[in-house]
Amino acid sequence: MSMYKAWNHLKTVTQHRLLVMKGCFRVGLYVQGLLHDLSKYSPSEFLVGAKYWQGDRSPNNAEREDIGYSSAWLHHKGRNKHHYEYWLDYSAHGVEGSCMTPAPMPTRYVIEMFMDRIAACKVYRKDAYTDRAPLEYYLSSKTPPPIHAKTKRQLEFLLNMLADYGEEKTFRYIRTKILHKTRR
């Protein structure tokens, strides 16, 4: 691993965290903003991320292409509740013949996942970012994610609202309508 890649990966991870933190703070999720993705600085995630850093996409995808899976992602998703994969469990009544079934995510983690997607698109798309980019990325998946129906509705509603009305209106809606209800 080169120092160049390590330094740039550190800058990428930190830029991403700061963007998520800023978004979380704007809607009132202060603790989640502060704690977001701290595991990315752990050796098992950071060293792999630095090795596969490219600057225009997640190093986890490059690791998958190289060895067939991402050890950094397996570590990350098991420690960060804002990923829907954290909420997958085994079931005798799995989705579409699978033995895996999604559990609903608490609203605050859905919001953090939404902020995570915005930040990732801003970091990787740079000046080409638009408020439509997180929705387009979500819709570009070849297979639908194994995500609970309620969580899916919440996330898609927010992604569409962002695409149609922008950050200011969407973040205000989250702060005043969604999170305000959960704090009563």
- Tell me the pLDDT tens digit for each residue of 37-83: 999 999 999 999 999 999 999 999 999 999 999 999 999 999 999 99
Q: Are 23 and 34 in contact (CB under 8 A)?
A: no
- Tell me the pLDDT tens digit for each residue of 142-178: 888 899 999 999 999 999 999 999 999 999 999 999 9
pLDDT of res. 95: 54
Q: Is 143 exposed, middle or buried (0-12, 13-18, 19+ CB in 10 A)?
A: exposed
- Indicate if the pLDDT at residue 184 is higher than 80: no
3-state helix, strand, coil in the chain (%, to 5): 70, 5, 25
- Which residues contact residue 68 at a Cβ distance below 8 angstroms, ignoring those fewer than 6 apart? none
Domain extent listing, the chain:
3-182
pLDDT of res. 143: 87
- Indicate if the pLDDT at residue 90 is higher than 90: no
CA distance 50 to 34: 22
Helix (H, G, I), strand (E, B) or coil at 95: helix
Which amino acid, one-letter code, is at 104? P
Question: What predicted TM-score, i.e. pTM, was given to this entire model?
Answer: 0.92
Q: Is 101 exposed, middle or buried (0-12, 13-18, 19+ CB in 10 A)?
A: middle
- Indicate if the pLDDT at residue 97 is higher than 70: no
- Ramachandran assignment for 96, one of left (phi > 0), alpha (psi -120 to 50 degrees), beta (any other): left
Helix (H, G, I), strand (E, B) or coil at 1: coil
